[in-house]
Amino acid sequence: MENVKASGIYAKQAHVKIPNGLYEEEHGRKGFFGRVSHIYHEHPPVNWKNIEGELRPRNLPEKFSLTDDNGFCPILQNDDLQINLGRFSKDDPFFFRNADFDELFFIHEGKGRVETIYGHLSLAKGDYLVIPRGTTYKIFVTDPLKMLKLESRSEFEDPSRGLLGPNALYDQTVIETPECAVGSETNLKDYTVRIKRLGKITSVTYPFNPLDAKGWKGSVYPRKLSIYDICPIMSHRYHIPPSGHTTFVAKNFVVCSFVERPLEDKDHGVLKVPFYHSNIDFDEVIFYHQGSFFSRDNIEPGALTFHPQGIHHGPHPNAFSAADNKTYTDEYAVMVDTRFPLRPTSWFEKNENKDYWKSWM
């Protein structure tokens, strides 16, 4: 049993009936999975006057048009993962195999299919696609694709559902896996597989389509989940922390999905917008997919925010009044929380909105 203490003025229940004139901060450990305290401030902890240094909140507006066509651009990275943005306007001329990382794609826009050594899967807006390390595949485009891609040094696994049971978050039958099928291309002179290893590309050319498997069995294979099939954990009397929306778990980071849902009950005094928090152990990245992002001003679909560990973050000043009479949110977003600090790439720094931190002033 944790040795929980309390002192001064505080709410009986976190995020519920916050004392008048005070602002609640959640000071937590282990990315909302660990121990936590709540601090009640006289002033919002994000009402800064100036920030000098690397801890300022950062924003990358929608910049897919500036990425290389039929490729991915790294934007944030550490020793555990690399976060990329990419777009494909036509079929990839090459097959690909990642020998460095497991891959998780999120389809922001577009339609197509991926052909793998295990078979084929369609791709559509809102799909998560998990490709295990070492899987040979090729991307085909029906409508131009815009994608977020995470490259992980560890596998993407399911979170524990614990007391909620195996059908919480989504029914297991909505997961799609490929049926065995050989590659559709049979009339090419050469078939080139690009293999990524230690960040460098090796090209291997075959006189036949390398997607030639006639069967497979086992527990390593690609799989697909639509964000629109996710059923969120909800409570009308409590604001569920981001950990309750975890979709994938990897070593030293998690991926969470925020989806449309009813909002908390105003009559019970429950905080509707994300609470102020200082999650000292984790960096936080949010990719905004669609909907009205009422906790943030001037955020468009396809944009991304980056909040480093060590500095407070939370809703913009207008978010409280904007949410006051709302009973439902239609927003969809992908969050990546990382145990160790992320490093912005030079491309990120060149294209970011450097005044984003001022939006709380």
> Could you tell me what percent of the chain has a pLDDT over 70?
94
pLDDT of residue 66: 92
Least confident piece of the model among 21-25, 64-68, 277-281: 277-281
pLDDT of residue 324: 67
Residue 69 falls in which region: left (phi positive, over 0), alpha (psi -120 to 50) or beta: beta
Least confident piece of the model among 154-168, 197-211, 249-263, 282-296: 282-296
Mean pLDDT of 237-249: 85
Mean pLDDT of 327-352: 94
Any bridge partners for residue 169, and if so which?
231
pLDDT of residue 319: 64
pLDDT of residue 235: 78
Mean pLDDT of 128-142: 98
pLDDT of residue 119: 98
The pTM score is 0.92
Indicate the pLDDT class of residue 320, thresholds 50, 70 and 90: low
What's the gap between Cα 293 and its chain centre? 15
pLDDT of residue 271: 73
Indicate the pLDDT class of residue 29, thresholds 50, 70 and 90: confident
Least confident piece of the model among 36-40, 51-55, 258-262, 301-305: 36-40
pLDDT of residue 323: 63
Mean pLDDT of 251-264: 91
pLDDT of residue 151: 98
Indicate the pLDDT class of residue 351, thresholds 50, 70 and 90: very high
> Could you tell me what percent of the chain has a pLDDT over 90?
61
Q: What is the pLDDT of residues 94-115, one digit of tens each?
A: 999 999 999 999 999 999 999 9
Distance CA 245, CA 241 (A): 8
The kind and range of the H/E element at 319 are helix 319-323
Neighbours of 18 (CB within 10 A): 19
Distance CA 302, CA 99 (A): 28
pLDDT of residue 94: 97
Q: Which of 275, 93, 123 is nearest to 193 (CA)?
A: 93
CA distances from 53 to 279, 289, 291, 352 (A): 19, 29, 32, 15
pLDDT of residue 301: 94
| Sequence-separated contacts (24+) of 165-170 with Cβ below 8 Å | 168/231, 168/233, 169/230, 169/231, 169/233, 169/247, 170/225, 170/229, 170/230, 170/231
Distance CA 72, CA 211 (A): 23
Q: What is the pLDDT of residues 163-188, one digit of tens each?
A: 888 888 999 999 999 999 999 999 99
Mean pLDDT of 345-359: 93
pLDDT of residue 170: 92
